[in-house]
Structure 1
Amino acid sequence: MTQIKAILIDDEQSARNVLTNLLERTSFNIEIIETCSNLEQGVVEIKKRQPNVVFLDVQMPNYAGYEITHFFNEINFEIIFVTAYDQYAIKAFELNAIDYLVKPIDRNKLNIALEKLEEKLKQKNQLIDYQSLLKTIKDKNYKKIVIPELGNRHIVDLKNIVSIEASGAYSVIHLKENEKITTSKNLKYFEGILSTEPSFFRSHRGWIINLNFVKSLNKTDLVVTLANTTLKTKISRNRINNFEEAIK
């Protein structure tokens, strides 16, 4: 299920509370990352937090919700208008909003709007993946991979991957500066797509390591320590000779 990061903008605290409660009780993977009481504050938070969707009240003091276009050169997030007046639907669709909700918000209509939103976000992620793939093929430069994580897509430079650790049916991608991504792809999947990359070595049934980050090898404990990280990865005894040959 696609993870959805949302910002709510409404000048009425009670309206923000009601919508928050409704969203939290849906079956969608939605995280409310900020709530705002006016458009100016909302614009600041949108630029800072980069949400997938903004639930935007139409009628507010100072600026109406549809005036949000005055603050952005490009709207790279989805908009769901929330209004007490049906006539604002026309304005919503002029601005290419995903949908609009009339107060008091009906749960079924909210779910329909969220279904549309989720589908659009999936298509957007697929487009990002496709564009990245086309560029990779065109450049003949297979130095980036797309890693799925909880509905998101991370485009990662291979040079930033320190190691890949098996975690049951999942894998944990360890990046520089101790960052990590957990993905549903297993280690065998990554071993296959990295098979032509000489810098990646399957050191153990539970580990693939980037040889460029190797700091030391302890043959007694069967541990490889990697630079720029606190990781101590495992190495199988029968792979030590191949490992030593690979790092030459």
Structure 2
Amino acid sequence: MNLTAIIVDDEARGRRALQQLVAENCPEVEVVALCHDVLSGVKAINQYQPNLVFLDIEMPNYSGFKLIEFFDEINFDIVFTTAYEQHAIRAFKTPAIGYLLKPINIDELIDVVHKVISKQGATQSLANKSNTAFSTPKEKPKRIVLNSSGGILYLQLEEIISLEADGRNTKIQLKDGQQVLSSNSLKDCQQMLENTLFQKIHRSIIINLAYVKKYSRGRDAYVIMENNQRLDVGLNFKDELTLVTSLFEK
């Protein structure tokens, strides 16, 4: 998923530095405007309708917090950027998805961008998953066709509880307790499972949402499947999984 972004910072050096960091480390993000204050930021947001706004806090005339008040509905993600740690508590009380302390750490920048991608990707996929979840389940289940050392595997989706990367192969845990090994990569499997109830929860794990028994959303998030299999949820997948599983709680 690609994002458009706006940078709002009263310091020209700060704007250019962040733009360069984004260009070099976050290929999914296109910076469409650089703004020197809140009012120019508001204008650019209305013009470009970005997915993401990198927003400095300490600026002349209006602080970054003031920008939020110009919008009745915040339909973009905000990442605050500041050199002052004392703003952190107030920032966490806003709709912002992240907070970056200057000088900006590259790993933290990449993490927050992945967080935005996960959140917005989940929002877009909710309608598809909703239609799948609540459509009439009387039709013959779809199946997935995979390669294995012994030939070809024909697996109905309702048989599969989880898939885990095993090097270049994929281990598949089945409802009946069997585990089979496919020579297809996890990425191959993910592409075959698009627009189904299967959800990636870790860079090496895909689960069938129909078999989630428990989702622990704490710091070290994990899911318990119907077969009592415990699977860790990756940091960059927590927000998306929370959004998707909320569909089943309504």
TM-score, normalised to structure 1, is 0.51
Equivalent position SS for 2:40: helix
Structure 1 residues 28, 98: closer, same or farther in 2, change over 3 A?
A: farther
**Corresponding position of 2:248:** none
Residue 40 of structure 1: how far off its partner (Å): 0.3
Identity of aligned residues (%): 39
Task: Specify every segment of 5 or more residues in structure 1 that has no aligned partner in the other structure, as ranges.
Answer: 138-248
**Are the equivalent residues in 2 in contact too, given 1:4–1:30 (CA < 8 A)?**
yes
Structure 1 residues 59, 128: closer, same or farther in 2, change over 3 A?
A: farther
Matched to 2:32, the amino acid is: I
Matches within 5 A, 1:38-77: 38-77=37-76
Structure 1 residues 133, 7: closer, same or farther in 2, change over 3 A?
A: farther
User: Matches of 1:69 and 1:121 in 2, distance apart?
Assistant: 19
Structure 1 residues 133, 111: closer, same or farther in 2, change over 3 A?
A: same
Matched to 2:73, the amino acid is: E
**Are the equivalent residues in 1 in contact too, given 2:7–2:55 (CA < 8 A)?**
yes
Q: Which has the larger radius of gyration?
A: 1
Residue 90 of structure 1: how far off its partner (Å): 1.4
Structure 1 residues 39, 27: closer, same or farther in 2, change over 3 A?
A: closer
**Corresponding position of 1:101:** 100
Matches within 5 A, 1:47-196: 47-129=46-128
Equivalent position SS for 1:122: helix
User: Matches of 1:111 and 1:77 in 2, distance apart?
Assistant: 18
**Are the equivalent residues in 1 in contact too, given 2:26–2:113 (CA < 8 A)?**
no
Residue 96 of structure 1: how far off its partner (Å): 2.3
User: Matches of 2:72 and 2:132 in 1, distance apart?
Assistant: 27
**Are the equivalent residues in 2 in contact too, given 1:81–1:100 (CA < 8 A)?**
yes
Matched to 1:109, the amino acid is: E
Alignment length, in residue pairs? Answer: 136
User: Matches of 2:84 and 2:38 in 1, distance apart?
Assistant: 18
- Measured against aligned partners, the alpha-carbon deviations of 1:16-46 in whole angstroms (never above 9, x if no partner) come to 0100000000143110011100100110110
Which of structures 1 and 2 has the larger relative contact order (alpha carbons within 8 angstroms, sep 6+)? 2
**Corresponding position of 2:16:** 17
Matched to 1:46, the amino acid is: I
Structure 1 residues 75, 27: closer, same or farther in 2, change over 3 A?
A: closer
Structure 1 residues 7, 129: closer, same or farther in 2, change over 3 A?
A: farther
Question: Any runs of at least 4 consecutive aligned residues in structure 1 with deviations exceeding 3 A, and if so which?
Answer: 128-134
Equivalent position SS for 2:21: helix
Equivalent position SS for 1:25: helix
Residue 133 of structure 1: how far off its partner (Å): 8.1
Matched to 2:109, the amino acid is: L
Structure 1 residues 29, 11: closer, same or farther in 2, change over 3 A?
A: same
Residue 69 of structure 1: how far off its partner (Å): 2.0
